Structure 1
Amino acid sequence: MEKLEGYEFYRSIGSPKWICGPMVDASELAFRMLVRRYGVDLAYTPMLNSKQFTKNTKLRKTIFTTCEGDRPLVAQFAGDCPETLLEAAKLVECCVDAVDINFGCPQHIAKRGHYGAYLQDEWDLMRSLISTLHQNLSVPVWCKIRVFPELEKSVAYAQMIEQSGSQVLAVHGRTRDSKGRNAGPADWSVIREIKKNLSVPVIANGDAVSLEAAEQCLSFTGCDGVMAAYPLLVNPTMFSGESKPDPFAVARGYLDLAEKHLTPTWQIRGHIFKLLKGHILGQDDIIRTYGAAQNANDYRQATLELEERIANGYSKTCSPTEACVNGIQSGYVLDEDDSVVQIFRE
């Protein structure tokens, strides 16, 4: 069959508007199936390291799982070798709708590994990576980027990526250096200018911390979709429009899916701490119980105990949106050992 491209392809997968972005160790199958229940139109896999993915069969079976209903699905890979990136993408092209190249990760691990946003100054290499996948995969290649401080360079950068074969572009409205506690707001005006100058679908990313914010972003930028990452970890129902979601009901739903899809306990732990962050503060014994949990049922029992405490009058809580905004503004979230760790910016 002829491979669809650009808007023809985007329409074929339902013209997705609300998108769950790629998150290291967090956008696994159980979580993707959860957010799909609450309005997400398309989801990404976690970022997959192409070198590790091709060499380690056991790791590959752990970090890439899917099922019926997990569509449309985009697999995101990181790497700097066209041949290795293609080899990795070939292993999943039968199970996904598109393959995305990560040109947006600003973390130090990406700098050490020579991938993500640390390739954005090497346009010839980027052209090779994109064109190799575009010419040799049966599914379209997408790209996810950050912007430059200069508007004109950001637009030229996006145009180069489109010309190299990318059929959809996701744009995070921050620069490579805008990260961590001092990241500042995402610049939607840069995304808007990129959208005006491309002929392929563009997805806006950055500061979509609520459905209202996502709708404002969509209206302001004129983009085809809006991507969220960390806000969905705190409130998976964000795109559904629910005004007061029950975090315990959401957590129970996630645990059911985690058990069904054999999710590793370390992934479950991360989700539970974020889903129930507004209730778990100060509950030191519950935090320790979560930290020692061995399976989804252990998490379920601890969650039921926490829910009962809240029902009986413990009231130190905050809403999902407040927890999300507070987490992003502070740059910190609770870890499983009752300490705080710096979060990855969306």
Structure 2
Amino acid sequence: MAGRLSFANITALAPMVRVGTLPMRLLALDYGADVVYCEELIDIKMAQCRRVENEVLQTVDFVAPDDRVMFRTCEKEKQRVVFQMGTADPERALAVARLVEKDVAAIDVNMGCPKEYSTKGGMGAALLSHPDKIEAILTKLVSGVSVPVTCKIRILPSLEDTLTLARRIEKTGVAAIAVHGRFKDERPRHPVHCDYIGAVARAVAVPVIANGGSLDLVKTHGDIRAFKEAAGASSVMLARAAMWNPSVFRSAGPLPLHDVMIQYLKYALRYDNHAFNSKYCLCQMLRDKVESALGKRVQAAQDNRELSEAMDQLDAFEETQAALDARRDALRGPERPPDRVIALDGDVTTMALKFERREYPPQLTPKMFLLEWSRRQKLEQPTYQTVQRAQDRAFQSTVTVEKRKYRSSLWEKSKKFAEQASAVVCLRVLGIPESHVGRRHKRKTEDDRDGAREKRKKPTAGERQTAGS
């Protein structure tokens, strides 16, 4: 979809908190969605973010001061992703819109969410009681950004008030209005009011996107057209139906849920989605099967590896990690400082080295050896401080021994490896013969072999009898 995004005659993935992250959006596009909305992101949090081009993942990340990735997107969805924000302030809304506008296809303002996390700040459905503020926010955005601006509302208690609000919104210059056909105090168990949506569609000239039909109107792709016609709308937006099985967007019909879950997981691994977010989405797809054997395995998983094991996709996990590691190494470049070079970074002594796990026996890692050495020297126990880099989620650790700090200048793929690398730096800088670890392991192995040979050389009963005769 080249050029300015159109909202006429489309089927969209609705904005859903904890669901509308990058893996789900890409999956929906694969299955036939025309447009995908991200989850509602609060303006105050987004305004503090910095834009980071993640070369390893090939994404654009918006990273909070605490290094959490608040919003992640990629080139594949750039022309079709709508950034939805929660806001109650025109100036802050514009600041956030300008921050993300080069990486998204449109900006949407949430004016329909009835949940407290949105309404308590005057956002979401709370805006429906303040049409002047709605007008101010949308007018500021339409005049201030280069991409289309839309909004998503709920219907008001009276049809007349709903139509008055819709006409006022249209005059701000928005490209479309999404209408969730329920009142603010209604929930998904309540039937959707298609008559209200249809009345709004007739009252304004911009495209109206019908929302709210997942519970009782949309079960398969064929139901999408029926919902669109029942609501008299230009387009349709799906939330729960898509959350339960994103392949609802397929014109050829839905795919087996297990296949969909595997495809979701592969996107989650490829784009390093947070494991707990991935687990939540997978559990939503399982729905009433969440207590099945598979559901219990998924719920028990604590990281992406365990999620992959639960889904019998460990090979996919390892292949993805290997590909990301290779890209990470390639970006570091072929020239690396030799690990014998010692440098100072502020008050920290550094060396450029990687922790090579295969060089150490499990029971005698550098951390363990450093701890044992410290105890023999009657020093305080080494302490480790580890940080994680936002753009590729790599780790770097600093170890403190006798009030002096040591770390590797290279970043590791896990916290454990980063701590081991800092321990190696400390051992080498202090001249502690860490190779004794390997020699001790080697000596033990050789002793075990010698013992095994001696056992094999023990004389048999016949030999002993012959020797005694």
- The TM-score normalised by the length of structure 2 is 0.59
After superposition, residues 1-346 of structure 1 pair within 5 angstroms as 9-11=4-6, 15=8, 17-57=10-50, 58-59=63-64, 62-70=69-77, 71-179=79-187, 183-208=189-214, 209-210=218-219, 211-243=221-253, 245-283=255-293, 286-304=294-312
Q: Deviations over 1:96-131 (max 9, x none)?
A: 111001101011222212101111111111111000
* SS in structure 1 of the partner of residue 108 of structure 2: strand
Aligned partners of 1:16 and 1:41 also within 8 Å: no
Q: Classify 1:10/1:95 alpha carbon distance in 2 versus 1 (closer, same or farther; 3 Å).
A: closer
Instruction: Summarize deviations over 1:136-158 as a string: whole Å, max 9, x none.
Output: 11112101000012111111111
Structure 1 gaps of 5+ residues are 1-7, 306-346
Q: Give the percent of matched residue pairs that are identical in Structure 1 and Structure 2.
A: 29
Aligned equivalents of 2:5, 2:105: Cα separation in 1: 10
Question: May I ask how many residue pairs the two structures share in their alignment?
Answer: 292
Q: How far apart, CA to CA, are the structure 2 residues paired with 1:165 and 1:22?
A: 22
Shift in alpha-carbon separation, 1:123–1:145, aligned structure 2, 3 A: same
Report the alpha carbon displacement of residue 296 of structure 1 after superposing the two structures with TM. 2.8
Distance across 2 between alignment mates of 1:235 and 1:34: 10
2:249 partner amino acid: F
Q: Retained in 2: the 8 A contact 1:151–1:190? A: yes
Structure with the greater relative contact order (CA < 8 A, sep ≥ 6): 1 or 2?
1
Q: Which runs of 5+ in 2 are unaligned?
A: 51-62, 314-469
| Cα separation, 2, equivalents of 1:234 and 1:100 | 24
Asked if 2 retains the 8 angstrom alpha-carbon contact of 1:178 and 1:184, the reply is yes
**Match for 1:83: what amino acid?**
E
> Would you identify which runs of 4 or more consecutive aligned residues in structure 1 move more than 4 Å?
8-11
Map of 1:328 onto structure 2: none
1:23 touches 1:229 (CA, 8 Å); kept in 2? yes
Residue 224 of structure 2 aligns with an amino acid whose one-letter code is A
Once residues 90 and 133 of structure 1 are traced to their aligned partners in structure 2, the CA distance between those partners, rounded to angstroms, is 9
Q: What letter is aligned with 1:31?
A: M
**Whole-Å Cα distance in 1 between the matches of residues 117 and 290 of structure 2?**
30
Partners in 1 of 2:170 and 2:123 — Cα distance? 19
| 1:233 CA displacement | 1.0
8 A contact 1:16–1:42 mirrored in 2: no
Following superposition, the deviation at residue 282 of structure 1 comes to 4.1
1:36, distance to aligned residue in structure 2 (A): 0.9
RMSD of aligned alpha carbons: 2.0
SS at match of 1:22: coil
The one-letter code of the counterpart of 1:109 is Y
Letter of the 1:45 partner, please give it. C
Secondary structure at the counterpart of residue 312 of structure 2: helix
CA distance in 1 between counterparts of 2:300 and 2:49 reads: 28
**How many Å separate the matches in 1 of 2:68 and 2:14?**
21
How far apart, CA to CA, are the structure 2 residues paired with 1:35 and 1:120? 30
The separation in 2 between residues aligned to 1:252 and 1:24, in whole angstroms, is 21
Q: TM-score, normalised by structure 1?
A: 0.79
Give 1:240 shift. 0.8
1:272 to partner: Cα distance:
1.1
What residue in structure 1 maps to residue 358 of structure 2?
Answer: none
Please report how far the alpha carbon of residue 62 of structure 1 lies from its aligned counterpart in structure 2 after TM superposition. 1.4
Distance in 2 of aligned mates of 1:282 and 1:26: 22
CA distance in 2, matches of 1:10, 1:156: 26
CA distance in 2, matches of 1:280, 1:55: 37
Alpha-carbon contact 2:82-2:105 (below 8 Å) kept: yes
Could you say what secondary structure the match of 1:174 adopts? coil
Q: Secondary structure at the match of 2:204?
A: coil
The separation in 2 between residues aligned to 1:295 and 1:67, in whole angstroms, is: 23
Compared CA separation, residues 47 and 244, structure 1 to 2 (3 A):
closer
Change in Cα spacing, 1:240 to 1:212, as seen in structure 2 (3 Å) is same
Distance in 1 separating the partners of 2:47 and 2:254? 43
